Amino acid sequence: MSNLISRPARTVAVIGAGPVGLAAAAHLVERGLTPIVLETGAGPAAAIREWGHVRLFSPWRFDIDSAARRLLEAQDWVAPDPDGLPTGDELIDAYLAPLAKTPRIAPHLRYGTRVTAVARLGVDKTRTVDREGRPYLVRTQNTAGAWEDVIVDAVIDASGTWGQRNPLGAHGLAAPGEDHAAAWAAGPLPDVLGSARDRFAGKRTLVVGMGHSAANTLLNLAALKEAEPSTTVVWAIRGDDPARLYGGGSADALPARGTIGTRLRELVETGAIELVTGFTIDRFEERGDGAVAVVGNIGGVEQVIETDHVAAATGFRPDLEMLREVRLEIDSTVEAPAKLAPLIDPNFHSCGTVPPHGEADLAQPDEGFYLVGMKSYGRAPTFLLATGYEQVRSIAAALAGDREAADKVELDLPETGVCSSSRSLEATSIADAAEGSGCCGSTASADSGCGTSADSGCGTARPEPVAIGSRGLATGVLHGYSGERTELPQLEQTGGCCG
């Protein structure tokens, strides 16, 4: 049984105005509840704007929440081509921004508002007597530095994971000298072929990581190197074999994914990309010219990689610090809600094997508080946007007192592609000729769930759509491929399915 609040909620704080946060608001207003949507950025989905150049390979038909669609259609909104593939910017401009402006959502949005803490009103975490039924206090700070406490009946935390990068250092800890604000730090998804082209052209860039964020950046850098031969691309991984990211090549159940892996392998084998395996980062030593020496070891022997830029494609994790005064049951491994964690643990599950789940799986010891979207998946990279929409639909029903609707968790999934659409694109460039995908970066057999076989693809008997995280998409989110400025098929994941 869910630990549901004893009476229907009236006001609900929604932390984050990304796709899942705005979907939560849409479902809440349809249920007659009042959302208060608190967004750090100056507009909806501010995290997605940071990777707006990345093109999803989840078609529009899977990117739009049902309640959000109803609110938009009431305003004579014209839906995008259901088979089209939006970039992050297009996702905002054609869907999330119009949704945020609808009369039933706009009055409830507060931009430039950062949530710093959540607590039960009048009691700290240790207080049990008279705790149940108390409202929540959500402490916020705006861009001018002013503080405000918002009092609500329930809280839905859809703040994602984009702002909490996994460290580059060993042991899950940041290495000495690691600094995301340093001149050499390129972030997880630099726009190598667009706005940041001049920064990377003719320079040496180290890409760290073995997920699809790394693959996307590597392929973009390789394309830049073709145009600017003095550009140097180095790829460092902790493992000894990149086969998991290469995929199954021509045997892959999803040809575009196989093409990406095959192309990446070719670039390594021809020397266009310098691959360093078994590399563990110990520290960073800045050079006077803005470059950095990445000091690590291979098999216990110190190795140094000198580079101008470092692209950190190592994924993300949830920010739980602001929730220290909320009673949570969080899995010690995945850092996801305890009931959900066994269903999403990437040690055992891929995108294609995570079942739909709702309020009962997300309820916490403090009734009326929920983690949703990419943040609900903790460190697991298997989040699907469609699953996030079903999470908030179920929660809104529960908060409105409709237990039957809350427990009836369903998810209609497409018939093609695990964590992707297999539709070929009708476009003019080679980059648009096929869709990249990647289920958790693994290479299972073409007719099974994701696994570890190095010579085959990845599929399931009942495939699922790719979707993005409000990450941050971050890693959370999302698979996609970058723009139309390259001849290479691109693949990306930032907090969406499968890091």
Answer yes or no: are the C-beta atoms of 254 and 228 closer than 8 Å: no
- Measured on CA atoms in the order 410, 412, 416, 420, is the torsion positive or negative? negative
> Could you tell me the strand order of the sheet in which 185-187 lies?
185-187, 309-312, 204-208, 232-236, 274-276
Helix boundaries (H) for 105-211 = 197-200
CA atoms within 13 A on the CB side of 123: 16
> 176: Cβ–Cβ under 8 A, 6 or more apart, which residues?
169, 282, 283, 284
CA atoms within 13 A on the CB side of 89: 7
Strand blocks (E) in 231-298: 232-236, 274-276, 279-286, 292-298
Tokens at residue 50, please? 């940071």
| Cα–chain center distance at 19 | 11
> 129: Cβ–Cβ under 8 A, 6 or more apart, which residues?
none
CA atoms within 13 A on the CB side of 328: 25
Is residue 370 within a helix (H) or strand (E), and if so which, with residue range? strand 369-371
- For residue 41, which of 383, 471, 441 has the smallest C-alpha distance? 471
Q: What angle do CA 212, 213, 219 make, to 5 degrees?
A: 80
Please give the chain's pLDDT, 499 residues, in tens: 344 444 567 999 999 999 999 999 999 999 999 999 999 999 999 999 999 998 776 788 889 999 999 999 999 999 999 988 888 999 999 999 999 999 999 999 999 999 999 999 999 999 999 999 999 999 999 999 999 999 999 999 999 999 899 999 988 899 999 999 999 999 999 999 999 999 999 999 999 998 777 888 999 999 999 999 999 999 999 988 887 767 655 444 434 445 667 888 899 999 999 999 999 999 999 998 889 999 999 999 999 999 999 999 998 999 999 999 999 999 999 999 999 999 888 877 655 567 789 999 999 999 999 999 999 999 988 787 889 999 999 999 999 999 999 999 987 654 333 343 333 222 222 222 222 222 223 222 222 222 222 222 222 333 333 333 322 222 223 333 333 333 323 333 333 332 2
Q: What is the pTM of this model?
A: 0.80
Top-level class of domain 11-163+316-407: alpha beta
| Cα–chain center distance at 362 | 18
Query: What DSSP string runs through 435-471?
Result: ----STT----TTSSS---TTS----SS-------BT
Q: For the CA atoms of the chain, what is the radius of gyration?
A: 22
> Could you tell me the strand order of the sheet in which 113-120 lies?
113-120, 136-142, 147-152
Task: Count other Cβ atoms within 10 Å, centred on residue 333.
Answer: 14
Burial of 300 (0-12, 13-18, 19+ CB in 10 A): exposed
Tokens at residue 340, please? 């959900």
| Cα–chain center distance at 193 | 22
Dihedral angle computed from the Cα positions of residues 457, 463, 466 and 472, in that order, rounded to the nearest 10 degrees: -90
Q: How far apart are CA 257 and CA 123, in angstroms?
A: 52
Q: How far apart are CA 497 and CA 384, in angstroms?
A: 5
> 251: Cβ–Cβ under 8 A, 6 or more apart, which residues?
258, 446, 455, 456, 457
Residue carrying structure tokens 């580079």: 307
pLDDT score at 444? 28
Q: List the chain domain ranges.
A: 11-163+316-407, 170-240+277-312
- For residue 436, which of 247, 275, 298, 274 has the smallest C-alpha distance? 247
Strands 301-307 and 292-298: antiparallel
| Cα–chain center distance at 329 | 22
Answer yes or no: are the C-beta atoms of 297 and 303 closer than 8 Å: yes
Q: Is 406 helix (H, G, I), strand (E, B) or coil?
A: helix
Q: Is 300 helix (H, G, I), strand (E, B) or coil?
A: coil
| 170-240+277-312 belongs to CATH 3.90.650.10 | no
> 301: Cβ–Cβ under 8 A, 6 or more apart, which residues?
none
Q: What are phi and psi of 99, to 5 degrees?
A: -60, -45
Answer yes or no: are the C-beta atoms of 184 and 292 closer than 8 Å: yes
Query: Are 11-163+316-407 and 170-240+277-312 the same fold in CATH?
Result: yes
Q: How far apart are CA 109 and CA 91, in angstroms?
A: 19
Tokens at residue 266, please? 């070719």
